[in-house]
Amino acid sequence: MTLPPDPKSISTVNYLNEEKTVASWFFTHDHKRIALLYLASITFFFLLGGVAAMLMRIELIHPRGELFTSTTYNKLFTLHGVIMVWFFLIPSIPNVLGNFLIPMMIGARDMAFPRLNLISWYVFMLGGLFAVFAILVGGVDTGWTFYTPYSSTYSNSWVIAMAVGIFINGFSSIFTGLNFIVTVHKLRAPGMTWFRLPLFVWTLYSTSLIFVLATPVLAITLTLVALERGFGIGIFDPRIGGDPLLFQHLFWFYSHPAVYIMVLPAMGVISELIAAFARNRVFGYNFVVYASLGIAFLGFLVWGHHMFVSGQSVYAGMIFSLLSFFVAIPSAIKVFNWTATLYKGSITFDTPLLYALGFIALFTIGGMTGLMLASLAVDVHVTATYFVVAHFHYIMVGGAVMAYLGGIHYWFPKITGRMYPETLARWAAIILFIGFNLTFFPMFILGYMGMPRRYHVYPEEFQMLNFISTIGTPVLGIGYLLPLIYLGWASFFGRLAGPNPWNATGLEWQTPSPPPKENFAEIPVVTTEPYAYHLLPEAAGIHQETHDR
């Protein structure tokens, strides 16, 4: 958790130094403080999931897998998946950046339901407690997908405790989504029309729709698995005529939209970063808005592409394949519009933009390989291989985590009131990019050559590529640890940032840094579009020299 900066250096009273007791943090209703509570929690979970990933990569150096038993390895990848999906990626951008920024971006003093916002954090932590408990007492070996009948009948591990943790965690998502939707509908400042909303708010609005409509299906699905396991009443049990495939349908009805929960907010962050560092209006703002809503909508119609080889009807497979191709359209609209926004912009290659460019590159690779996986025939060849692992890590890690870090850097001056060390941060972004590709690109080749996922013993001809991948892991790790260290340092000792260090548009930059407790002394009145960089004085050449670096 970021502690308040030295009050002597910042004269104004702000949300960090207004109250100093521990209780004022744990019982706060301030959306900005709750964002920091989430930041601390998910950083812990990220490190936990990251350690599991490191251990797996170390194991995979050797083809015979001599470090862990198969069971331990199964538990490691389950731990990694569960923690990273539900306790890091899903809450990452929405609950940290979204909580902090949505009220500020729309000109509100807080969320519509500040107490519910705090409750969502406690619910999140309670879910985390169950998950950590399940890990400590012995772990779970089903994979993060909990496929029946293995999870409900055969697995000899702590499935119910983990399912309870994820069930509780889901309520945190639902509360957050509900709060975001009501806040965006009801608390926009005068003049902040729907089509003047920053794109970050639009993507989080789309994400919230998925939160409230998809998460309850996961809740009931895991409840059914837990009931089947706990009481022996087999709803997915083939012995009495139940259908294990029904579990997969219900699970992916949540878990495919959940992919868009992870990547839509990332796209919102990228839109903000590109506009701010290209000093340009976002090209085709309306199209980007509709693309966000379109992705949220289409995301509900493609779950069957996870089940092409599960015995689903071939006609269903064809329809799901076609619908999955459709997702590429709004995604491509976004990528092209970001590129067009950069075109003829006056670009400064500050750290947040480096992350944004990294996002575009990696997201494009991840998206294109996604199209390969959506093709029925290709998918039969690469299902459950490292090709799939590489694909979704390019979206989740190369996409979502890159955007999360880019956003953290961009809004760091607003959150802490201080600047991070720019040169170091640029190097960290570059190291992260190199480490990421070194770790995950070989997996595409491995998967295409036929190496299945979730095995720790593999034929010797795969060793070279696995070795390269493992070499990438420490590089990637350094790329993550560096920001943790220098951002921690800079939140106490960085130079003061001032209200708007990037000269960016957006209501959040109209407040002091760090902002006061209720954000705005007076609720602002909005008169322009969100990315009115062409209306800033610099556009007429007045402050041009300050941007020549």
Residue from 78, 142, 221, 369 in contact with another protein (CB under 8 A): 221
The verdict on 227 binding another protein (CB under 8 A) reads yes
The residue behind tokens 């050797």 is: 62
Q: Cβ closer to another protein: 377 or 521?
A: 521
Is residue 377 a contact point for another protein (CB under 8 A)?
A: no
Q: Tell whether residue 118 is a contact of another protein (CB under 8 A).
A: no
Neighbouring C-beta atoms of residue 187, cutoff 10 Å: 18
Kindly list the distances between the CA atom of residue 111 and the CA atoms of 130, 284, 486, 523, in Å, as whole numbers in the listed order: 28, 29, 30, 14
* Contact (Cβ atoms closer than 8 angstroms) between residue 42 and residue 90: no
Which of residues 126 and 246 has its CB atom nearest to another protein in the complex? Answer: 246
Give the span between the Cα atoms of 326 and 26, in whole angstroms.
44
- For 60-65, which contacts have Cβ atoms below 8 Å and span 24 or more sequence positions? 60/456, 60/458, 60/466, 60/469, 60/470, 61/463, 61/466, 61/467, 61/470, 62/463, 63/457, 63/458, 63/459, 63/460, 63/462, 63/463, 63/466, 64/457, 65/456, 65/457, 65/458
Structural contact between residues 206 and 295, judged by C-beta atoms closer than 8 angstroms: yes
Inter-helix orientation angle 386-393/351-374, to 10°: 140
Residue 375: both structure tokens together = 């093709």
Backbone angles phi, psi at 308, to 5 degrees: -60, -35
Residues 424-443 that bind another protein (CB under 8 A): none
Question: Cis omega (within 30 of 0) on the bond before 330?
Answer: no
Does 232 participate in binding another protein (rule CB under 8 A)?
A: yes
Q: Using CB under 8 A, pick the residue from 65, 143, 216, 450 that binds another protein.
A: 216
Q: Which stretch binds another protein (CB under 8 A): 143-151, 216-224, 389-397, 435-443?
A: 216-224
**Which residue in 3, 125, 178, 332 binds another protein (CB under 8 A)?**
178
Applying CB under 8 A, which part among 243-251, 315-323, 384-392, 460-468 lies near another protein? Answer: 243-251
Residue 452, beta-bridge partner list: 385
Q: Does 233 bind another protein (CB under 8 A)?
A: yes
Strand partners, 496: 418
Does 240 sit near another protein (CB under 8 A)? yes
Binding region for another protein (CB under 8 A) out of 157-165, 235-243, 266-274, 275-283: 235-243
Three-class HEC string of 419-449 = CCCHHHHHHHHHHHHHHHHHHHHHHHHHHHH
What single-letter DSSP state applies at residue 198?
-
Residue 521 touches another protein, criterion: CB under 8 A: no
Total binding residues toward another protein, as defined by CB under 8 A: 43
- Please report how close the Cβ of residue 523 comes to another protein at its closest, in angstroms: 9
| Contact status: 316 vs another protein (CB under 8 A) | no
Binding status of residue 220 toward another protein by CB under 8 A: yes
Should residue 182 be labelled a site residue for another protein when binding is judged by CB under 8 A? yes
Q: 82-111: which residues touch another protein (CB under 8 A)? A: 108-111
Compute the distance between CA of residue 364 and CA of residue 352 in angstroms, rounded to an integer.
18
Task: Write down the least CB distance from residue 261 to another protein, Å.
Answer: 14
Among 4, 114, 366, 479, binds another protein (CB under 8 A): 114
- 160 counts as binding another protein under rule CB under 8 A: no
Q: Does residue 549 belong to the site contacting another protein (CB under 8 A)?
A: no
Binding site for another protein (CB under 8 A): 29, 108-114, 174, 177-179, 181-182, 185-187, 212-217, 219-221, 224, 227, 231-235, 239-243, 246, 249-250, 253, 518
